[in-house]
Every structure is written in C-alpha cells, then in structure tokens.
Amino acid sequence: MTIETMPLAKALNAGLRKAMQDDPRVLLMGEDIGPLGGVFRVTEHLQAEFGDRRVLDTPLAESGIVGSAIGLAMAGFRPVCEIQFDGFVFPAFDQITTQLAKLTNRHEGSLSLPVVIRIPYGGHIGAIEHHQESPEAYFTHTPGLRVVSPSTPNDAYWMIQEAIASNDPVIFLEPKSKYWQKGEVELDASAAPLHATRVVRRGTDVTLVGHGAMVTTLLQAAALAEAEGTSCEVIDVRSLSPVDYGPILDSVRSTGRMVYAQEAPQHTSVGSEIAATVMERAFYALEAPVLRVSGFDTPFPPAKLEGAYLPDADRVLEAVDRSLAY
C-alpha cells in the first residue's frame, strides 16, 4: 500500500490530477485556477500539466462558470467548477438550484449532468464577510443535488474522484481552515463510498456527530472528555445529502445520547435535520434530547470575533455535560 502524508489542499490537487489522467472528459473551470493555482493553490501546476483547454481561467462571473459547466456536461464533458469563497456562490445560485439540480428530472432521467462545484467554506481563517460562511443547508434543501464534505486529506483525495465520477451534480464543500492540515493518504487503497458516514473514534457514553472542520473539534472535545472520565464516540457525516444514517443510529442506540456540532447557524440547518431524524428513528433509545452546538443565528461577524461565534471544544463539552445531566 502506498501512503503519503500531505495537506488536505495537496490531497485535493492529487485527486483532481488522478481524475484528469483517468478521464479526458474531465476539465476544471474557475477564477485564477490556471497559472496561479487558485487562491488556496488547490489546482497548482495542473494547467501546466494538462493545458489551458482543460484547466480554464474564467472571467469573474460565477453564474457564467456554472452555466457554461451545465452546457459542457450536456455535451459529454465532466466539468469541475471552483468557487473561490463560499459567499461568492450566490451569483450562481439560480443556475445551481433551478437548472443544474432540476434538468435531469425535467428530462425524466435521460440527461445526466456530471458537474462538480467545489466550494471552500467555513471559518477560522480570519477573513472578511462573505469569506467564512457555511451555506450547506441551501444545497441540502435542494432536491437533485448531492452534497458532500471531506474532513481529512485521505477523504479529500478519494471523495473528489468519486464526485467527478458521479453522473449527478455534486456540491463539494471543502473546509478551508483544514487546507493545511496534514494527514496520511492511501493512494492505492479502495475508497469508502462517497455517501458513507464514518465512525472516527469509538466511545460508550455520548455520540458526537459533525461534518467538515468540526470533526477535528469533536475529536479534541472527545479527548478532553476522556480525561474527565467520559467516553465519546465521534462520527463524521461526510455526506450531507444523502445522509447515511445507519452508523449514526447504531451509535445513538448504544450511547443513548447525541450532540451535533456545526459552524453554520442553527436554525433550519443540517444539524437540525439530522437531530430531528435521530429523534424520530431512535427515540426510545435516547436518554436525553439530541443537542446542537452551532454558529449563532446572526450574520458572520468580523474576523476578530470569529472565535466567539464558531463552536469550539469547550462549547461541545458543555453540551456533553448537559446531555449527561438528564
């Protein structure tokens, strides 16, 4: 088995390179993704390797990027669009939600739209407004879109390839605060299914569930809880739509308690949906209500206040304590 240690951004770069080597129909589109390699250097050196007809620097026009990708997919290509920051996706929102998500259904399944839209999302980078938001609920609420988010370099490497191979449109959410977090990547292993939930730490007292960058925070909280005598199981959702509920429900039926953590605001969020489903499907196993730890229901604050806005291990532990107190 070939294993390399690399940051998440480099794992994405390697995954994109592998997908382009394997399938000449794969092409990349986005602002500054060519010679610059993108703001976060995820596409670094790919234009030099594959040429400017497969790694396309586009105008500053997200609606045009996604609209062009839809046309290319209809013509048989497999385009991968980069949105520079989460807040910049909204000029393309109409193309994504009223065209990309619906065209396959509109054609009664006879038309496939293998489009991947990569969106760096989330906080912890000290950026300004519209650069640190978590808009995942908009897309999980939209039928016709698959929505996934890796939390480790290994998942990033494999999930981007699986997303590109999908015949359905995929919103690929990249936790930008983890771009520089290193981890082992199994370059020739078999990948977990794109929409599989993963148990990343075993425990017996409380189930901690989250996605993206919050998985690291949950692992930190679990380590601190263990020092205090509480055993927490940590689950990485990975796929936000569809959700693989099996491992989550199995864990909750074992521990009797669950805390969901996310950077996004709490109201009508991914965490809200998963909490409601667990309450419906594992109600009689629960010893306490499902609790949520989230960003606040306000616009994302200035960078100096992001530490007060985003959930940390202490806020997760406080929820664990409340759950155990029932």
pLDDT score of 56 more than 80? yes
Count of all residues that appear for the chain in the document: 326
Return the closest-CA partner of residue 181 out of 41, 10, 8. 8
Same domain assignment for residues 28 and 172: yes
Catalytic residue of the set 45, 107, 130, 131: 131
Q: 191 in a domain, yes or no?
A: no
**Pair (172, 205) in one structural domain:** no
pLDDT digits (tens, 9 = 90+) for 42-51: 999 999 999 9
pLDDT at residue 102 tops 80: yes
pTM: 0.96
CATH number reported for the structural domain that contains residue 293 in this entry: 3.40.50.920
Is 239:195 a contact under the CB 8 Å cutoff? yes
The pLDDT score that the predictor gives to residue 126 is 87
Please tell me the total count of domains within the chain: 2
Domain boundary (148, 163, 186) is at: 186
CA atoms of 215 and 156, how far apart (whole Å):
14
Same domain, 83 and 122: yes
What does the pLDDT average to over 53-63? 97
- What is the predicted pLDDT for the residue at 255? 98
Q: Give yes or no: residues 175 and 204 share one domain.
A: no
**By C-alpha distance, which of 160, 74, 165, 140 is closest to 274?**
140
User: Left if phi > 0, otherwise alpha if psi is -120 to 50, otherwise beta: which for 213?
Assistant: alpha
Model pLDDT, residue 149 = 98
Torsion angles phi and psi, residue 51, rounded to 5: 90, 165
Angle at 270 between CA 238 and CA 282, to 5 degrees: 85
SS3 of residue 162 by DSSP: helix
pLDDT score of 101 more than 90: yes
Give the structural domain span for 134. Answer: 3-186
Identify the pLDDT of residue 60: 95
Of 186, 214, 234, which residue constitutes the final position of a domain? 186
Give CA–CA dist 264/58, Å, rounded.
29
CB 157 within 8 A of CB 247: no
Give the CATH number, domain containing residue 114.
3.40.50.970
What pLDDT is attached to residue 133? 93
Verify that 168 and 211 share a domain, yes or no.
no
Q: What burial letters (b/e) apply to 288-306, b meaning 16+ CB within 10 Å?
A: bebbbbbbeeeebbeeeeb
What is the reported pLDDT for 190? 75
Q: Does some domain include residue 192?
A: no
Residue 225 pLDDT: 97
- What digits encode the pLDDT tens for the residues 127-176? 887 898 999 999 999 999 999 999 999 999 999 999 999 999 999 999 99
Mean pLDDT over residues 12-29, rounded? 98
Do 215 and 147 share a structural domain? no
Average pLDDT along the chain: 96
> Catalytic residue at 195?
no
d(Cα 94, Cα 114) in Å, to the nearest integer?
Answer: 18
Cα distance between residue 195 and residue 238, in whole Å: 7
- For residues 132 and 203, membership in a common domain is answered with no
Same domain membership, residue 75 and residue 11: yes
Report the alpha-carbon distance of residue 249 to residue 255 in Å, rounded.
Answer: 10
- Residue 15 token pair: 């995954």
State whether 165 and 214 are in the same domain.
no
| Mean pLDDT of all residues in 249-255 | 98
Is there a single domain that holds both residue 33 and residue 99?
Answer: yes
Q: Is residue 116 part of a domain?
A: yes
Last residue of a domain, one of 134, 156, 186: 186
Q: Give the C-alpha distances (Å, rounded to integers) separating 161 from 150, 165, 192.
A: 12, 6, 12
Tell me, yes or no, whether 302 lies in a domain: yes
Same domain, 177 and 216: no
Assign 1 a pLDDT band (cuts: 50, 70, 90).
confident
Residue 188: the pLDDT is 85
CA separation, residue 254 to residues 39, 114, 132, 160, 215 (Å): 43, 39, 35, 32, 20
In a domain, 193, yes or no: no
276-300 per-position pLDDT tens digit: 999 999 999 999 999 999 999 999 9
Residue range 174-215, pLDDT digits in tens: 999 999 999 999 998 777 899 999 999 999 999 999 999 999
Residue 316 sits in the same domain as residue 231: yes
What does the pLDDT read at residue 64?
97
**Please, what's the b/e burial string for 112-134 (b: 16 or more CB within 10 A of its CB; e: otherwise)?**
bbbbbbbbbbbbbbebeeebbbb
